[in-house]
């Protein structure tokens, strides 16, 4: 089988609720992406940038849903890993006349500001920026604070929570009115949870972070990989039980 994570594959998009769109990850080292619309300004916020190769597919997927990629004015990152941030470099080039603001927290912000290639490509994945036709350069980053509030139009107000365990820079975005959680790679559907064996990962921290989000009121669970759910709390609880059962082996 050919890799389908190439430039040509359209990212399948789907409206989750009014103003919230989900774009499914491509199979090769990519991530789910989410668009949230700012109705007041007619602008779009993008959550995670994917791997860059999939960006054209995202734009096509957006176009199919009537969303114009040139309206992306803000990018919010969940964490520093290659499959979530690499698309930034392509996105900035593509939108060079009106580049979006990039929002990140802590280690994620630092790594991107420094252009720290070895931290963007963690461990021994056996990949390099060249394989993506990219050069890692220092970026202008808007640094977020914990418990900061992000407004997207008048409809969405996200809280930022620091949720390490999968990586040092991992955050979750939570919208309490609409009960949306964007957890990055902390917790997935189907009882899955993020890897904790990359540099900066920790099983204990992962458990603590999942425990924390397990106490939030979540309908829409929009994770960085695999499927999404409109029945978030039971999914998070399932993952919490699974991660605790792993812990009991040690």
Tokens 């199979």 identify what position?
27
Minimum distance between the CB of residue 170 and Zn ion, rounded to whole angstroms? 8
Alpha carbons 62 and 115: distance in angstroms, whole number: 28
**Is 168 a residue that touches Zn ion (CB under 5 A)?**
no
Q: Give CA torsion, residues 183, 188, 193, 194, to 10 deg.
A: -50
Minimum distance between the CB of residue 30 and Zn ion, rounded to whole angstroms? 11
By CB under 5 A, which span of 2-10, 78-86, 91-99, 147-155 interacts with Zn ion?
Answer: 78-86
Minimum distance between the CB of residue 193 and Zn ion, rounded to whole angstroms? 11
**Is 119 a residue that touches Zn ion (CB under 5 A)?**
no
By CB under 5 A, which span of 8-16, 52-60, 73-81, 234-242 interacts with Zn ion?
Answer: 73-81
By CB under 5 A, which span of 18-26, 43-51, 79-87, 234-242 interacts with Zn ion?
Answer: 79-87
Q: Which is nearer to Zn ion, 30 or 185 (CB)?
A: 185
- Total residues at interface with Zn ion (CB under 5 A): 2
Q: Which is nearer to Zn ion, 24 or 185 (CB)?
A: 185
Among 11, 56, 74, 81, contact with Zn ion (rule: CB under 5 A) = 81
Alpha carbons 189 and 242: distance in angstroms, whole number: 12
52's tokens: 């860059």
Among 185, 222, 228, 243, contact with Zn ion (rule: CB under 5 A) = 185
**Given phi > 0 = left and psi -120 to 50 = alpha, else beta, which region is 210?**
alpha
Among positive and negative, which fits the CA dihedral 160, 165, 170, 172? negative
Minimum distance between the CB of residue 46 and Zn ion, rounded to whole angstroms? 17
- C-beta nearest to Zn ion: residue: 81
Provide the pairing of β-strand 101-105 with 142-144.
parallel
Say if residues 114 and 138 touch (Cβ distance below 8 Å). yes
Q: Which is nearer to Zn ion, 62 or 213 (CB)?
A: 213
Q: Which is nearer to Zn ion, 107 or 185 (CB)?
A: 185
Largest Cα separation within the chain, whole Å, is 53
Minimum distance between the CB of residue 81 and Zn ion, rounded to whole angstroms? 3
Minimum distance between the CB of residue 190 and Zn ion, rounded to whole angstroms? 17
Query: Distances from the Cα of 233 to the Cαs of 191, 211, 216, 217, 222, in angstroms?
Result: 11, 11, 8, 7, 12
Q: Which is nearer to Zn ion, 152 or 206 (CB)?
A: 206
| Nearest by Cα to 174 from 189, 162, 185, 165 | 162
DSSP line for 79-117: ---HHHHTHHHHHHHHTTTSPPEEEEEHHHHHHHHHT-H
Minimum distance between the CB of residue 119 and Zn ion, rounded to whole angstroms? 12
Q: Which residues contact Zn ion (rule: CB under 5 A)? A: 81, 185
């Amino acid at each position: 089988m050919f890799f389908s994570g190439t430039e040509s594959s359209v990212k399948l998009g789907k409206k989750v609720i009014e103003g919230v769109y989900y774009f499914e990850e491509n199979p090769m080292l990519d991530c789910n992406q989410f668009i949230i619309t700012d109705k007041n300004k007619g602008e779009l916020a993008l959550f995670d940038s994917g791997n860059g190769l999939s960006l054209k597919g995202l734009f096509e997927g957006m176009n199919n849903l009537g969303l114009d990629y040139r309206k992306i004015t803000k990018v919010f990152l969940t964490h520093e890993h290659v499959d979530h941030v690499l698309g930034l470099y392509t996105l900035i080039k593509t939108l060079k006349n009106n580049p979006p603001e990039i929002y990140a927290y802590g280690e994620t912000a630092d790594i991107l500001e420094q252009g720290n290639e070895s931290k963007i490509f963690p461990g021994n994945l056996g990949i390099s920026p060249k394989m993506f036709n990219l050069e890692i350069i220092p970026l202008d980053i808007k640094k977020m604070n914990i418990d900061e509030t992000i407004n997207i139009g008048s409809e969405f107000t996200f809280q930022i929570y620091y949720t390490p365990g999968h990586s040092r820079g991992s955050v979750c975005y939570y919208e309490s009115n609409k009960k949306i959680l964007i957890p990055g790679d902390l917790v997935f559907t189907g009882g899955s949870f993020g890897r904790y064996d990359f540099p900066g990962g920790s099983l204990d921290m992962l458990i603590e972070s999942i425990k924390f989000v397990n106490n939030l009121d979540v309908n829409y669970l929009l994770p960085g990989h695999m499927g999404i759910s409109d029945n978030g709390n039971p999914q998070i609880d399932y993952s919490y039980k699974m991660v605790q059962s792993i812990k009991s082996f040690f």
